[in-house]
Amino acid sequence: MINELVVDLSRAQFAATALYHFLFVPLTLGLVWMLVIMETVYVMTGREIWKRMTQFWGVLFGINFAMGVATGLTMEFQFGTNWAYYSHYVGDIFGTPLAIEGLMAFFLESTFVGLFFFGWDRLTPVKHLVVTVLVAIGSNLSALWILIANGWMQYPVGSVFNFETMRMEVTSFTEVMFNPVAQAKFVHTVSAGYVTGAMFVMSISAWFLLRGRNVAFAKRSMTVAASFGLASALSVVVLGDESGYALGDNQRMKLAAIEAMWDTEPAPASFTVFGWPDVEQRKTHFAIHIPYVMGIIATRTVDKVLPGINELEKTAEKNVRRGLLAYDALQKLQANPKDAVAKQVLDHNVDVLGYALLLKRWMDDPLKATDADIKRAATSTIPNVPVLFWSFRIMVACGFYFIALFALAFWYASRRELERRAWFLRLALYSLPLPWIAAELGWIVAEYGRQPWAIDGVLPTALGVSSVSAAQVATSLTGFVVFYTALLVVDVILMRKYIRLGPDGLGMWRSKPVTPLSAANAD
Amino acid sequence: MARAFADPPGPAHPATIWSRTAVARRFGREILFLIVLKIVLLTLLWWVAIKPAPRADTTPAAVAKHLVSQPTHAPSRP
């Protein structure tokens, strides 16, 4: 039997470290391209201010990089410590992109980030720009390989189960690499990172403008952020739509849960803008629908039916029953590896073996499962509907808000009116936390929505956990929470200190004294 | 009150390379200290909270035992 407490604590530990790590990742992904843009302008024009802009935002990039680096490493260690069975079962596939990420992308990024900081007076402007571009490529390649690994968890392709080694093995690495789910997740995630970087630059620039400090510096920064942010915010929405394209049954379940679509609707299904999902009654109260939208997003057609939660639950029940045939055959093969009939049965039903493994959560021998047990296993494939429903809607609302905000910034920047719009500058300043909220909610939709699976349809999360005690996981979880909270406090203090110093306080530039906009507006 | 989109007065010390200034050196020291401190604390966390835990047996036989029960009967479910 599975120790549910160990499972929950292990999940909480991984979620805590992942959520913390993901506070740094989007800013690194986005800010580095802003540095590339600013430095390119410096190389092309030779104007000193663009170099100083690159250096100042580079200082903040450095703090973020230094605080974020190695916080993701603890997640990789957890695969061994807390998720040993998971690592054995899928390590052949999952480990490869992670290894490539560490060896290729992370080393590329880390090596050149040193040159970025210490190479200003040692490299020519063009060579230094190449270094900055390589840092940007390295950080984005890191994201690519991580998301290839993650995409495989969402949609396992290019692999097969080997009953002799009791694990999944690669059959086509090309399929793993070009997994459509991974590719869609990559472009959506990096675009969200670009929005985060743009918002960071725009908000801090707005703060400088409101205080009348580093005005020329802040106006240029804000103009770059507005342009880059607008393009990125539009990309996030368009590429997020690609993520909504459901490919497998389990992803359809996630999609139905996001929509709180309990019953199958005639094609094309509508999109629920607002509603109140009621899990007990399996209804969505006060639902406001936009006709056709969901069906078109998820199936790319107007005539394909998008199954609802209740129908998918019935499919899951059938899969559990068929999975038990595979489970039974696997048992026989464990006793006699030369059992040809059992091998044939396993081969025929191996695609749903994971569904039988769902029963291991409640019993040692799934073959003794009653109909009620099978129904319970099928019901367990429904993720937490209200959490997904609201997380998704808040994320999407943030996405559309970003488009409006950056469009407005772009308009004011084009008309050179940024400084005169104190209300807008305040709005930009107070919007600073929103990209992080949207990114974390996106992560919750993707990963919490994958439950109860570690690998969709293949390995239930509960079976991936190591045979460790709850006390051991609780101790390490406490350690991580205390340590990461302290790191977060230090990060905020450092960021605040260097932002308040500004380029003038850091001796990069002499600020032209002007009347603070907030004071001018108060008159 | 429109402000011109003009360059600021200029670098505080045009001849100075910023990365060699005292403030830049201090920044470098702070970041280096934080990275080292972080690695030390993570190592400490590893030694105190994670290393003492027993390693899970992930040989194929152990995984088979973990995932698949030993056969007690041979019925096939419909």
Residue-wise DSSP of A336-384: -TT-HHHHHHHHHHGGGHHHHHGGGGT-S-GGG--HHHHHHHHHTTS--
Which residues of chain A neighbour B76 with C-beta distances below 8 Å?
Answer: 325, 328, 345
User: Look-up: residue for tokens 């056709």?
Assistant: A292
Kindly determine whether residue B3 and residue A366, on different chains, have CB atoms separated by under 8 Å: no
Q: Cβ(A294)–Cβ(A267) under 8 Å?
A: no
Which residues of chain A neighbour B25 with C-beta distances below 8 Å?
Answer: none
On whether any CB of chain A is under 8 Å from the CB of B39, the answer is yes
How distant, in Å, are the alpha carbons of A41, A402, A417, A500, A503 from that of B18? 19, 34, 31, 18, 11
Kindly determine whether residue B48 and residue A327, on different chains, have CB atoms separated by under 8 Å: no
CA–CA gap between residue A478 and residue A234 (Å, rounded): 40
Considering just the CA atoms, what is the radius of gyration of chain A in Å?
25
Of A85, A367, A508, the CB nearest to B18: A508
Kindly determine whether residue B10 and residue A510, on different chains, have CB atoms separated by under 8 Å: yes
Kindly determine whether residue A87 and residue B58, on different chains, have CB atoms separated by under 8 Å: yes
On whether any CB of chain A is under 8 Å from the CB of B18, the answer is yes
Residue A161 forms beta bridges with which residues?
A168
Kindly determine whether residue B70 and residue A77, on different chains, have CB atoms separated by under 8 Å: no
Number of DSSP helices (H) and strands (E) in chain B, helices first: 2, 0
Which residues of chain A neighbour B33 with C-beta distances below 8 Å?
Answer: none
Q: Cβ(A57)–Cβ(A201) under 8 Å?
A: yes
Q: Cβ(A42)–Cβ(A505) under 8 Å?
A: no
CA–CA gap between residue B5 and residue A219 (Å, rounded): 8
| pLDDT value at residue B78 | 38
Q: pLDDT truncated to tens, each residue of chain A (523 aa)?
A: 678 899 999 999 999 999 888 888 999 999 999 999 999 999 999 998 999 999 999 999 998 888 887 777 888 888 888 898 899 888 888 888 988 888 877 788 888 988 888 888 888 999 999 999 999 999 899 899 999 999 999 899 999 999 888 889 999 999 999 998 899 889 999 999 999 999 999 999 999 999 988 888 999 999 999 999 999 999 988 877 777 665 555 588 988 999 899 988 887 888 888 889 998 889 989 888 888 888 887 777 888 888 899 999 999 999 999 999 999 999 899 888 898 999 999 999 999 999 999 999 888 889 999 999 999 999 999 999 999 999 999 999 999 999 999 999 999 999 988 888 999 999 999 999 999 999 999 999 999 988 899 998 899 999 988 888 888 889 889 988 998 888 888 888 989 999 998 888 887 766 555 555 555 444 3
User: Look-up: residue for tokens 């039988």?
Assistant: A356
Residue A510 forms beta bridges with which residues?
B10
The model's pTM: 0.88
Q: Which of A1, A53, A115, A510 to mutate to test the interface with B (most CBs of B within 10 A)?
A: A510
Of B27, B31, B77, the CB nearest to A367: B77
Q: Which amino acid is at A34?
A: M
**How far is A48 from chain B, CA to nearest CA, in Å?**
8
Of B8, B13, B78, the CB nearest to A49: B8
On whether any CB of chain A is under 8 Å from the CB of B23, the answer is yes
Kindly determine whether residue B23 and residue A74, on different chains, have CB atoms separated by under 8 Å: no
Q: Can you read off the two tokens belonging to residue A487?
A: 């790191």
Which residues of chain B neighbour A420 with C-beta distances below 8 Å?
Answer: 1-2
Q: What is the pLDDT of residues B8-38, one digit of tens each?
A: 555 544 445 677 788 888 888 888 888 888 8
Residue A160 forms beta bridges with which residues?
A169
**How far is A427 from chain B, CA to nearest CA, in Å?**
20
Q: Which of B1, B3, B63 to mutate to test the interface with A (most CBs of A within 10 A)?
A: B3
Of A167, A365, A506, the CB nearest to B72: A365
On whether any CB of chain A is under 8 Å from the CB of B15, the answer is no
When comparing pLDDT for A440 and B49, which is higher?
A440
Of B3, B17, B34, the CB nearest to A67: B34
Q: Cβ(A486)–Cβ(B45) under 8 Å?
A: no
Bond prior to A277 in cis (omega within 30° of 0) = no
Half-sphere exposure of A89 (CA within 13 A, CB side): 28
Q: Which of A331, A349, A412 to mutate to test the interface with B (most CBs of B within 10 A)?
A: A331
CA–CA gap between residue A246 and residue A94 (Å, rounded): 22
> A272: which DSSP letter?
E
Measured in whole angstroms, the distance separating CA A459 from the mean position of its chain's CA atoms is 21
CA–CA gap between residue A92 and residue A459 (Å, rounded): 14
> How many other C-beta atoms lie within 10 A of the C-beta of residue A104?
14
- Nearest 5°: CA angle at A130, between A125 and A136? 125
On whether any CB of chain A is under 8 Å from the CB of B71, the answer is yes
Q: Can you read off the two tokens belonging to residue A247?
A: 């490919």
- Nearest 5°: CA angle at B23, between B18 and B29? 110
On whether any CB of chain B is under 8 Å from the CB of A510, the answer is yes
Task: Output the 3-class SS for A219-232.
Answer: HHHHHHHHHHHHHH
3-state secondary structure of A514: coil
Q: How many residues does chain B have?
A: 78
- Burial class for B7, CB neighbours closer than 10 Å (0-12, 13-18, 19+): middle
Half-sphere exposure of A88 (CA within 13 A, CB side): 24
Kindly determine whether residue A166 and residue B63, on different chains, have CB atoms separated by under 8 Å: yes
On whether any CB of chain B is under 8 Å from the CB of A475, the answer is yes
Q: Which chain A residue has its CA at the smallest distance from B49's CA?
A: A476
On whether any CB of chain B is under 8 Å from the CB of A476, the answer is yes
Q: What are phi and psi of A146, to 5 degrees?
A: -65, -40
Q: Cβ(A225)–Cβ(A201) under 8 Å?
A: yes
Cα dihedral A432, A436, A438, A439 in deg (nearest 10): 150
Measured in whole angstroms, the distance separating CA A428 from the mean position of its chain's CA atoms is 24
Kindly determine whether residue B53 and residue A334, on different chains, have CB atoms separated by under 8 Å: no
Q: Cβ(A301)–Cβ(A268) under 8 Å?
A: yes
- Pairing type for strands A271-278 and A453-455 reads unpaired
Taken in order A314, A319, A322, A324, the sign of the CA dihedral is negative
- Burial class for A8, CB neighbours closer than 10 Å (0-12, 13-18, 19+): middle
Kindly determine whether residue B38 and residue A487, on different chains, have CB atoms separated by under 8 Å: yes
Taken in order B33, B38, B43, B44, the sign of the CA dihedral is positive
**How far is B58 from chain A, CA to nearest CA, in Å?**
6
Helical ranges in A69-119 per DSSP H: 73-81, 84-100, 107-118
Measured in whole angstroms, the distance separating CA A484 from the mean position of its chain's CA atoms is 19
**How far is B74 from chain A, CA to nearest CA, in Å?**
7
CA–CA gap between residue B61 and residue A213 (Å, rounded): 67
How distant, in Å, are the alpha carbons of A46, A270, A284, A285, A303 from that of A288? 55, 10, 10, 9, 22
3-state secondary structure of A281: coil
> How many other C-beta atoms lie within 10 A of the C-beta of residue A284?
21
CA–CA gap between residue A249 and residue A42 (Å, rounded): 51
Kindly determine whether residue A120 and residue B3, on different chains, have CB atoms separated by under 8 Å: no
Rounded to 10 deg, the angle between the A422-430 and A385-414 helix axes is 150
Q: How many CB contacts within 8 angstroms connect chain A with chain B?
A: 175
Q: Which chain B residue has its CA at the smallest distance from A490's CA?
A: B34
Kindly determine whether residue A420 and residue B2, on different chains, have CB atoms separated by under 8 Å: yes
